[in-house]
Amino acid sequence: MRMLRVAVVNTDEQHCRELCALLEQASIPVAPLYSLENLHEHLSKEQVKALIVDLDTLPVDNNFFRNLKKHNPDLAILCLSSRTYHPGLQEAMGSHIHASLTKPLNSEELFFWLKTIAEI
């Protein structure tokens, strides 16, 4: 997974740092972002293959994911959430989000999805 670059967006800085440390231990280049404010700029400058978005901490909707994929069609989006159902994100879950992972995060599941994305 050397060619895989990941960005993590989470307003919970501690959780973001922990997730980034897990990825760094696996030698996966990762960039922590603590808000959506600089996301588009970061994606335009870096060749990010996978984006991990914490649905519990960020104000995102179907339109956000639609625009994100429109401008970054090759970006794989993984979501984290403590909830199993997000009624306001039905379109995004069906069309724009690669996988949804539950909290607490299962690292084996995360690395499975990242390996799958790296092979695309």
Count of C-beta atoms within a 10 Å radius of residue 106: 11
Element (H, E) at 101: strand 99-102
* Residues 81, 82, 84, 89, CA torsion sign: negative
Q: pLDDT tens digit string along 73-100?
A: 999 999 999 987 777 787 788 889 999 9
Q: Is 64 a domain residue?
A: yes
Q: Is 105 a domain residue?
A: yes
Q: Is 32 a domain residue?
A: yes
Range of the domain at 100: 6-119
Q: Is 34 a domain residue?
A: yes
Q: Is 1 a domain residue?
A: no
- What mean pLDDT, rounded, does the chain reach? 93
Q: Are 51 and 19 in contact (CB under 8 A)?
A: no
Q: Is 82 a domain residue?
A: yes
Q: pLDDT tens digit string along 31-49?
A: 999 999 999 999 999 999 9
Q: Is 52 a domain residue?
A: yes
pTM over 0.85: yes
The count of structural domains within the chain is: 1
Q: Is 12 a domain residue?
A: yes
Q: Is 27 left (phi over 0), alpha (psi -120 to 50) or beta?
A: left
As a whole number of angstroms, the distance between CA 96 and CA 76 comes to 8
Length of the chain, please?
A: 120
Q: Residue 26 maps to which CATH number?
A: 3.40.50.2300
pLDDT band at 68 (very low <50, low <70, confident <90, very high): very high
